Amino acid sequence: MPSLSPVDGLAQLSFLVLGALERRAAEHDVSIVQTRLLGVLRDRRPTMQELARLLGQDKSSVSGLVDRAERRGLVARVPSAADRRSVLVSLTDQGRRLAASVEEQFEADVTALLAHLPAAERATLSRLVSGMLVAHAAANGVDLFDTLLPSPE
């Protein structure tokens, strides 16, 4: 079977995956960046500054993003008990339901795509992708597995 170069293959795969995510997000009337926000907040309650770092955006862009999501009832800002100058961002029940729905549908799309590979190749792909993403995140000061929510304040 002919193969694509890693760059071409990853580019085409990213378009395919992003297209699936865009379709699922559009079905719920949210943008890709709003979907990323919901995904980050599924298991974290970051400060605005932490959220900007996790999303790779400047704080002013994240502030507008959170404002729009807050107006839709998807997120809430909560004063931090640890630092009165900080505000934590968390999902509301409505935001959590929306995130779960998009995630479930998107997972089904990706699972169908991966079904074209034998189980051993899926496991290898998972290991390779995980290694790349964990290394990239660590190089940027992000722990992908730091998902413990702070206790409610």
Q: Assign domain 6-139 to a CATH class.
A: mainly alpha
Q: Round to whole Å and give the CA distance between 17 and 62.
A: 24
Read off the pTM: 0.82
DSSP string across 87-129: EEEEE-HHHHHHHHHHHHHHHHHHHHHHTTS-HHHHHHHHHHH
One pLDDT digit (tens) per residue for the chain, 153 residues: 789 999 999 999 999 999 999 999 999 999 999 999 999 999 899 999 899 988 989 988 999 999 999 999 999 999 888 888 889 999 999 999 999 999 999 999 999 999 999 999 999 999 999 999 989 888 888 777 776 444 444
